[in-house]
Amino acid sequence: MAALLLMLLHWPDLALRYPQASRLERVQRSGTLRVAVPVDPGIDHAAFQDMHHVLLREFANRLDVTVDLFEADSQAELLDMLTRDEVDIAVPRQPLPDPLPRHLRAAPTYAETQTHVVCKGAVGLSLDLQSGTALRHIRVSESDGYVARLSRAGLVRIGLAPTSPLGTVALLELVSAGSIPCTLAQQDEVERARQRLPALRLGASVGPPGRIGWVLRNTRDDSLARQVDRFFVNSRESGLLAQLHQQEQGLQDRFDVVDLEGFRLALATKLPHFEADFRLAGAEQGIDWRLLAALAYQESRWNPRAESPRGASGLMMLTADTARSMGAGSRLDAGASIVAGARYLAQLRADVGDSVAEPDRTWLTLAAYNVGPGGLARARQAVRERGGDPDRWPEVRQALPSLGRGARGWEPVYHVESVLRYFALLSAHGAPDQQSLRGFNRRAGPAASADADARSAPGRTRHRSETG
C-alpha cells in the first residue's frame, strides 16, 4: 500500500518522464492505419484502385505503414466505428453531416458529390420533393444522414419522406427488385450499382452538392489529424489531387458509354454460340471460361469478324503473327480464335511469373494482352526504377499511362478494368462455377479472392493494402 501511495505521489513526474505515445506514433509503431469505408459491391476494396484508395495509399506511404480497411453498412455505423476508436480514419463516400458532431473532425474536402432521386425504370423520376404526396414514394436511408443534411440545406419537407434504417446500397437493391418505388443516392453510387442492377435510373438532383472528406476523432491529441491536413495541402499544391480527378473522370467517361443493355442482350443472343468453345479452351489452359468470354467481349463484342485499325481481328482480336504462333489457322474462325486467345493468355500469364501473387498476376496478364508483353515489361521497369513493387497491379496501373500519349496511355488500364467488370457480370449471370472469384483455376495456380482477409468482426470485412 505504501508503494502504491508513493507511486501516486510521483505520478506527475513519471508522466513527464515517460509521456504516452501520440496517436501518430501509435499508428507508426503498429505499422497499420485502420480505415473505415462503406460497404459497396461495386467497389473492389482489395484492388485499391480508385481515387479514394490512391489517396489512402499515398498517405500510408508517407507514414510507412499499411492500410487495413473495415467495411461499414452505413455512414452512421462508419462514424460510430470512429467514435469507438475501432479505426483511425473514416472515409465516407457520401456527403458529411453538417455540422459534424463535436467529437469528430473533418479533414480538408477533396471531392464533391450530388444526391439524386433513383427509381426503377422511368417511374417516379420527375417527383417533386417539395410535395408531401410525392415524398411518400421515396424511402430514404436514415443511417446515411440524408434527411438531416437536406433539411439543413433548405429542403425542409424531406422530413415527410418515410425513412429506413438500411444503408443506401441495400435500398438500391430493394428499388431494383421493385420492393420500394424510389430512394436517394449519390450519382457515383448509382453508376456503380447499375453495373449489376441495370434497371436503376438516375432522376432529378436533390439539394446542393455535398462535401467528401476524411473524418477523424476530435481530441486534444491532434498529431494524426495534423499529418492528414498537411498531406492534403501538399497533394493540392503538387497537383496530385487534380491528376486523380482527371484520371477518375476520364475512366468514368469511358465506363459511362458501356452499353449494359447491349451486354445483357449479347448474353442471350451471342454467348450461347460460343460458350462451349470458351469452356473447352478455358479448361485446357486452366482459365475460368468467363474470364475468356469477358476478354473476348471487351475485344470484339463477341463479333467473330471484328477488325481493328492496328491489324488485329477475330473474336479474340489477335494479330496475324500471334494467331499463327498459337496455332490458329484462321483468325475469323471463332473456335480457332478462342483456342489461340486462351493459349496466348496462358503464355502471357506464365511470362508474368509464378512469383506474382493473385489477383495481381491476372490483372498484369490482362494488361499484357492489351499493351503487349514488352509494354508491360516497360511499365514494370518504370515501377522498379522508382523503388516500387513491379509485381503489384496498383503500382503498374499508375505507370502504364506514361507509355502512351493522352487517352491512349490509359487504354490498358481501361482494358483491364472493363474486362473485370464484364467478368463480374458474367459471374453474376446464372449459377456460379466453383472458381467464380478466380480468373485462373487451380491448374494454373491458386488465386486470392477479393475477400480473402479474415473478418475482423461480424459483418465487417477487412482488407489490407501493402504500401510500396
Question: What amino acid positions are annotated as catalytic residues?
Answer: 299
Q: CA nearest 291: which of 192, 449, 430, 438?
A: 438
Cell of 294: 469477358
**Which residues, in sequence order, are bridge partners of residue 113?**
210
- Single-letter amino acid, residue 231: F
Cα separation, 48 vs 463, whole angstroms: 9
Cα separation, 160 vs 425, whole angstroms: 37
Helix extents (H) in 257-359? 260-269, 271-285, 289-300, 320-325, 334-352
Q: CA nearest 121: which of 194, 188, 71?
A: 194
With left for phi above 0 and alpha for psi between -120 and 50, is residue 124 left, alpha or beta? left
Q: CA nearest 93: which of 193, 222, 199?
A: 193
Q: Are strands 32-38 and 89-90 parallel, antiparallel or unpaired?
A: parallel
Cα separation, 322 vs 434, whole angstroms: 31
Three-class SS state of 91: coil
Beta carbons of 172 and 116 less than 8 angstroms apart = no
Distances from the Cα of 39 to the Cαs of 74, 221, 234, in angstroms? 7, 29, 29
